[in-house]
């Protein structure tokens, strides 16, 4: 990158960090736990949110969702609304990641005083979202079995910044060459001791442990 370009990128990231801090203060003031949910396209982010909503439904835990997409669609926010939770759809206008301004604007449209948890479903991308702090409490990545076992080696930056890793679609393990040991060795190298849950949103396998962990993070539970 040229020096000019580097300066501009640094300025953008500084401004983003300031706004991210404001988002965090706002979420803390409302006693809301929040998650930046990242993944490749089609790793199952929306299905995972829906499974989480369903698992917590009987406990009256309220979950607001911010859906980031590069195009003006409402496919995912419609699904969240149909599950009875408030969702805000954000069109990034072709941008490859969510940023703190988009989250700030979306928070304006959520009923914060009623919520226990906010999930930001980031744009499907294993690279760009890693550079943008949104102000959320944790970075969660969904790695999907069909993507293959070499992703930590090829996309190390996103793995380094994670608080939680979800390995999804484990129901497909019998049909796919996926070496779990090789995958986890790559993860351990980048982010030692990373909290990891292996799940299937199709069969619900492994979801209980994730829900227990998540419940323990909610300030009012």
**Binding positions for a second copy, 88-117, rule CB under 8 A:** 94, 96
Rounded-to-integer distance, Cα 174 and Cα 36, Å: 30
For 163, the token pair is 């608080």
One-character DSSP codes across 133-184: --S-SEEEEEEEGGG-TTHHHHSHHHHHT-SEEEEE-GGGGGGS---HHHHH
CB nearer to a second copy: pick between 40 and 133: 40
Contact present, 70 and 98 (Cβ < 8 Å): no
> Using the rule CB under 8 A, is 180 a contact of a second copy?
no
How many residues lie near a second copy (CB under 8 A)? 36
Binding segment for a second copy (CB under 8 A), chosen from 58-66, 114-122, 154-162, 212-220, is: 154-162
Candidate residues 101, 128, 194, 218; the one interacting with a second copy per rule CB under 8 A? 128
CB nearer to a second copy: pick between 19 and 117: 19
Q: How far is CA 165 from the centre of its chain?
A: 10
Binding segment for a second copy (CB under 8 A), chosen from 18-26, 64-72, 106-114, 204-212, is: 64-72
Candidate residues 33, 155, 197, 210; the one interacting with a second copy per rule CB under 8 A? 155
> Using the rule CB under 8 A, is 40 a contact of a second copy?
yes
3-class DSSP assignment, residue 193? coil
Please state the closest distance from residue 172 (CB atom) to a second copy, in A.
6
> Using the rule CB under 8 A, is 139 a contact of a second copy?
no
Listed in sequence order, the residues at least 6 apart from 166 whose beta carbon sits closer than 8 Å to its beta carbon are: 48, 140, 141, 142, 143, 196, 197, 198, 199, 210
> Using the rule CB under 8 A, is 17 a contact of a second copy?
no
């Amino acid at each position: 990158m040229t020096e000019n370009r580097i300066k501009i990128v640094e300025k953008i990231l500084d401004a983003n960090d300031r706004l991210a801090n404001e988002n965090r203060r706002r979420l803390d003031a409302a006693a809301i736990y929040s998650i930046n949910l990242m993944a490749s396209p089609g790793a199952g982010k929306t299905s995972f949110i829906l499974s989480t909503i369903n698992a917590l439904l009987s406990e009256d835990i309220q979950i607001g969702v911010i859906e980031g997409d590069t195009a003006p669609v409402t496919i995912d926010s419609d699904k969240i609304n149909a599950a009875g939770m408030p969702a805000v759809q954000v069109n990034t206008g072709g941008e490859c990641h969510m940023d703190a301004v988009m989250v700030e604007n979306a928070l304006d449209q959520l009923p914060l005083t009623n919520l226990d948890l906010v999930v930001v479903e980031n744009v499907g991308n294993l690279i760009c979202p890693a550079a943008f702090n949104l102000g959320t409490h944790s970075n969660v990545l969904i790695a999907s079995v069909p993507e293959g076992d070499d992703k930590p080696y090829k996309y190390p930056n996103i793995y380094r910044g994670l608080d939680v890793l979800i390995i999804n679609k484990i129901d497909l393990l019998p049909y796919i060459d996926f070496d779990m040991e090789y995958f986890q060795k790559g993860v351990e190298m980048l982010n030692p001791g990373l909290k990891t849950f292996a799940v299937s949103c199709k069969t619900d396998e492994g979801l209980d442990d994730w829900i227990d962990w998540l419940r323990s993070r909610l300030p009012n539970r």
